[in-house]
Amino acid sequence: MTETPHELSSRYDPTGIEAPLYARWLERGLFHVDAADADDPYVMVIPPPNVTAALHMGHGLNNTIQDVVIRYERMRGRDAVWVPGTDHAGIATQNVVEQQLAAEGLSRQELGREKFVERMWEWVDEYGSRIIDQLKVMGCSCDWERTRFTLDEGLSHAVREVFVRLYEKGLIYRGNYIINWCPRCLTALSNEEAEHQETAGRLYHFRYPLVPEEGAPPAKGAAGDYVIVATTRPETMLGDTAVAVHPDDERHSHLVGRQVALPLTGRTIPIVADEYVDPEFGSGFVKVTPAHDPNDFEIGNRHDLERIDVMNDDATIGDAAPEEFRGLDRFEARKAVVAALEAASLVEKIEDHTHSVGHCYRCDTVVEPRLSLQWFVKMKPLAEPALAAFHAGDLRFHPERFGSIYEHWLTNVRDWCISRQLWWGHRIPVWYCDDCDEITVSREDPDACAACGGGVTQDPDVLDTWFSSWLWPFSTLGWPEDTPDLRALYPTHTLSTAPEILFFWVARMVMAGIEFMGELPFTDVLMHGTVRDAQGRKMSKSLGNGIDPLEVVETFGADAMRYTLVSAAAVGTDMQLDHADLEGSFRVGRNFANKIWNAVRFALGGLTADDVGRDPLGPDVEPHLEVADRWILTRFTDAAASITGALDRFRLHEAAEETYQFVWGDFCDWYLELVKPRLRGDRGEASRDAAAATLAHVLDGWLRLLHPVMPFITEELYCHLPGRSHDDTLLLGPWPTGGRDGEPAFRDPDAAAALGELQELVGAVRNLRSEYGIDPGRKIDLVVASLTPALERALDEEEEGALALARLEELTRAAAIPTGVVGAHAVLRSGVELFLPLEGVVDVDRERARIGEELERLDGLLAATEKRLDNPQFTGQAPAEVVEREREKLASFVQRRTRLLEKRDAFQTSSG
């Protein structure tokens, strides 16, 4: 059904337009590609949002970027597939539901594992779909039939397969190591999940008394018979099992082998020699606590030291510690230990000390490095090919600098702790025999121990949430089954995500892709910037400075939000948006949408169904094209080529801004205005038809160029063009390439030059009017002389439009400017002269002063240009066209100078 232009309101209101369009796209299945039809696939997978989190502006940005890329490729004719989904987000989601339970006065322990997991699924069912809906509101053109969840049956199957394969390959192992323990979440964390923050703390220096030894000299560097050790965590001293010194430390190495009486515990511990110790730091003695510090753990291994874990899971002091401290929280215990040592005069000194302390990335609790039995993935063998692929140039980062960060991490990668003491996630597929030591790791749940036939119990823990995410590019396509999807759509092409999950996710996906698919999961990685508030702070819930994308969509429309986000900064650059001033932040996009709306609304008034789709270069139209038509067609070709190039290089903001400039600056400000008289038929039928065909053609073209960024308004307007209906769509292209890909493209450099001169002429007139304070409503006369052929031609054809733009009553073409009349001269770059009669309008003194200033500035430029051209090294070494440009510049400066001098004289004459 075609609607008439009159139904478009004078303001663009996205309400009631976006949702129906989206529904129609879905109905027609435009986002779906069948594996069987995917001859030329272009695939992206969404970074699956956490099911718990409402989408924030970071999602708004990232998903806009992805949608721009995928829509662009779709319009270019690729079989574009964007695989959507959500992540179960282990700790994060479990925490949220636990908080919900706490509000009901319940705990997960009270509920029991089975019931708790049921609760979790209820949550997922409720909120998972809400996130999907939010993506739809933003216009994301995901292939929703492929929506996946990391705990889906299929993905769980993939996780299980991967665990078993890596175990069989010896890349998964279980062991006692120091891990980051969150005493609040009661689980192990990976290194990446422990976020280090600078924290003001204290460095405590304690005295450990030496056990006297017959005939031995006293310890040096310590008063009398003490050694002095330092620590930031005094409570761990309860678990000390040695004191270490560097073997080459001349001051202390003679004490190696002696015993120290560990205060408060009644234990004696040895002094050992270890190269880890830095003799320069502190006293040169280090207390060794193998169960609570990663370095000490290593030292303990080298010296076969006992590991004494003095804490419980919740970081209260446990039974291994002296009775007086048991049950105390670690921070209370810290005070108690210091107090007790002080009472025994064993505190040497206490200093302020800032150091970086790990915090749980989910609940911000200080993590406790702690000895624990966990499962790990051996990373080195996986990292090497991932590094090699990068070095080979098969994996590209945008911006490039993220490549070196990726490289650094992989080069120094450490084993990945993958077990979590949670209930929400993929259960570790390991069974322990109830009777013997046999461990069963299996694709199928075993009933009995393979070794002794006894009963088996599954490991209670689940896997790190990223253990499913790292398989995402192929698990979503059906792996480990050999599905048509997997064969057709893997590998994917581009991945767009936040830089903070480069290690968590991107690097690990690369490793998994190579390991399990034998091929990189994608070739290009876009790292988008961080959305910050007006003070440059990261947007966060706790600061309350976040912007809700849905609120923005509701107020300004999805297109306005998308345009604003894409144009706000280059990919990879942080952007600032003021949460307190949404209007100020998003008006750019909103105003642009309104401009587009009105431009098309105007065009609709002048176009018929016959005009739309008529080729302006067809044999019956082309001969009637005028300069303005040929110019806008040329400009369009250039803009399309440039925008296409920008998108190919992922320079989305350049593409967006350039489209803006073309639509607003070229099409609206100039072409529409020039063509108005012709559309009214003032210059005859053929001219009208040529203008209308060109107008319709170029309009159609830029609606397409704009569609990836602003999908709704472009589609809506496209469907409103005469002869079109909502059965039509822009979504499937074709994309105007501006002659890229070897397609023919219209270019007329002469017309471009001619219109350029016409624009300069109009601009000069406007400038003069404004300069001399001539009422814009008052039409004036103008004389032009020394016309170039280009301008001559432009004036012949476009005079009427140009006159209107310059608000001229009459334009006189002359061979030379008139003499003996007071007026203003201006000389265009092309050498064309303007003369504006100014009988009694001008303040002479003011004018003369201004001319003086201008001359001064011009003299400076002239001198610089002359100097450059006089330099043989410049003329010899610079590219020819640069030198040529410089010559032209000089010529125009000289000419301008001459005119200015004449002008000054003219004013002097007229005043005298």
Partner RNA sequence: GGGGCCUUAGCUCAGUUGGCUAGAGCGCUACGUUGACAUCGUAGAGGUCACUGGUUCGAGUCCAGUAGGCCCCACCA
Q: Binding residue for RNA (CB under 7 A) from 282, 381, 491, 613? A: 282
Q: Which 194-213 residues touch RNA, going by CB under 7 A?
A: 195-196, 198, 203
Minimum Å distance from CB 415 to RNA? 11
Stretch near RNA under the rule CB under 7 A, chosen from 93-101, 148-156, 672-680, 791-799: 672-680
Tell me the CB-side half-sphere exposure of residue 910, using CA atoms within 13 A: 23
Distance from C-alpha of 709 to C-alpha of 67, rounded to nearest angstrom: 8
State the minimum distance, in angstroms, from the CB of residue 347 to RNA.
15
Question: Rounded to an integer, what distance in angstroms lies between the CA atom of residue 533 and that of residue 202?
Answer: 34
Residue keyed to tokens 């339970």:
101
- Among residues 550, 152, 504, the alpha carbon closest in space to that of 362 is found at 504
Short-list 384, 458, 369, 363, CA closest to 417: 369
Q: Residues 176 to 195: which contact RNA by CB under 7 A?
A: 191-192, 195
**530 phi and psi, to 5 degrees?**
-95, 140
Chosen residue from 32, 258, 676, 897 binding RNA by CB under 7 A: 676
The DSSP call for residue 150 is T
Q: What is the DSSP letter of 268?
A: E
Tokens linked to 654: 């350049």
Q: Which amino acid belongs to residue 789?
A: P
Token pair belonging to 312: 């419980």
Out of 177, 432, 664, 746, the only residue in the binding site for RNA (CB under 7 A) is 664
Is the preceding omega at residue 711 within 30 degrees of 0, hence cis? no
Q: CA 36, CA 865: separation in Å to the nearest integer?
A: 64
User: Contact with RNA (CB under 7 A): which of 12, 116, 127, 712?
Assistant: 12
Residues 470-509 contacting RNA, CB under 7 A: 499-500, 503
Shortest Å, Cβ 192 to RNA: 6
In the complex, the smallest distance separating the C-beta of residue 877 from RNA, rounded to whole angstroms, is 4
Which 3 state secondary structure label does DSSP give 134? helix
Of 151 and 706, the one with the shorter C-beta distance to RNA is 706
Instruction: Please state the closest distance from residue 441 (CB atom) to RNA, in A.
Output: 28
Which residues in the 808-847 window bind RNA by CB under 7 A?
829
Q: Using alpha carbons only, what angle is made at residue 167 by residues 437 and 159, rounded to the nearest 5 degrees? A: 115
The burial of 733, by beta-carbon neighbours within 10 Å (0-12 exposed, 13-18 middle, 19 or more buried), is given as middle
Residue for token digits 């073997």?
A: 247
Among positions 651, 726, 740, 848, the unique one binding RNA when judged by CB under 7 A? 651
**Position among 892, 895, 899, 910 found at the interface with RNA (CB under 7 A):** 892
864 touches RNA by CB under 7 A: yes
Q: Would you call 360 helix, strand, or coil by DSSP?
A: strand
Site size for RNA (CB under 7 A): 102
Among 29, 281, 481, 863, binds RNA (CB under 7 A): 281
Minimum distance of RNA from residue 668's CB (angstroms): 4
Q: Does 415 bind RNA (CB under 7 A)?
A: no
Q: Which of residues 730-759 bind RNA (CB under 7 A)?
A: none
Q: Is 173 in the site for RNA (CB under 7 A)?
A: no
| Paired sense of beta strands 41-45 and 259-262, if any | unpaired
When binding is defined by CB under 7 A, the residue of 349, 391, 414, 887 that contacts RNA is 414
Residues 754-773 that bind RNA (CB under 7 A): 763, 766-767, 769-771
Does 380 interact with RNA (rule: CB under 7 A)? no
- Minimum CB distance to RNA, residue 129 (Å): 31
With H, G, I as helix, E, B as strand and everything else as coil, classify residue 384.
helix
Judging by DSSP bridges, how do beta strands 267-273 and 347-360 pair with one another?
Answer: unpaired
Q: If binding is defined by CB under 7 A, does position 894 make contact with RNA?
A: no
CA distance 841 to 769: 11
Residues 703, 709, 712, 715: is their CA dihedral positive or negative? positive
Residue nearer to RNA on the CB measure, 155 or 612: 612
CA distance 813 to 802: 14
Sign of CA dihedral 646, 649, 654, 656: positive
Stretch near RNA under the rule CB under 7 A, chosen from 124-132, 292-300, 681-689, 902-910 = 292-300
Residues 93-112 close enough to bind RNA by CB under 7 A: none
Secondary structure class of 724 (helix, strand, coil): coil
* CA distance linking residue 565 with residue 568, whole number of Å: 5
Site for RNA in 209-268 (CB under 7 A): 229-233
Name which of 55, 240, 48 is nearest 133 in CA terms: 55
The minimum distance between CB 443 and RNA, in angstroms, equals 32
Instruction: Please identify which residue in 26, 851, 861, 894 interacts with RNA, judged by CB under 7 A.
Output: 861
| Contact pattern for RNA over residues 527 through 546, marking x by CB under 7 A | -----x-x-x-x--------
Among residues 770, 768, 772, 771, the alpha carbon closest in space to that of 782 is found at: 768
To RNA, the closest distance from the beta carbon of 231 in angstroms equals: 4
Instruction: State the nearest-atom distance from the C-beta of 896 to RNA, in Å.
Output: 8
Minimal distance in Å, beta carbon 830 to RNA? 12
> What are the tokens at 158?
């993939």
| Per-residue contact string for residues 564-593; x = within reach of RNA by CB under 7 A | ----xxx--xxxx-------x--xx-xx-x
**788 to 807: interface string for RNA, x by CB under 7 A:** ----------------x--x
Least CB distance from residue 863 to RNA, whole Å?
A: 12
Q: Spell out the residues 6+ positions from residue 363 whose beta carbon is closer than 8 angstroms to its own.
A: 95, 182, 184, 185
Look at residue 564 and give its three-state secondary structure.
Answer: helix
Nearer to RNA, 106 or 894 (CB): 894
Of 775 and 839, CB closest to RNA: 775
Among 174, 184, 848, 868, binds RNA (CB under 7 A): 868
Check residue 294 for interaction with RNA (CB under 7 A).
yes
776 interacts with RNA by CB under 7 A:
yes
Stretch that binds RNA, among 300-308, 647-655, 727-735, 737-745 (CB under 7 A): 647-655
Cβ-based neighbour number of residue 760 at 10 Å: 17
Secondary structure class of 504 (helix, strand, coil) = helix
Shortest spacing between CB 499 and RNA, in angstroms: 7
Residues in contact with RNA, shown as a per-residue x/- string from 601 to 640 under the rule CB under 7 A? xx--x-----------------------------------
Report, in Å, the least distance between residue 83 CB and RNA.
27
Among 121, 173, 276, 331, binds RNA (CB under 7 A): 276
If you search the block for the tokens 């806008």, which residue do you land on?
A: 632
Burial class, 105, CB count within 10 angstroms (exposed 0-12 / middle 13-18 / buried 19+): exposed
Closest C-alpha among 306, 315, 313 to residue 333: 315
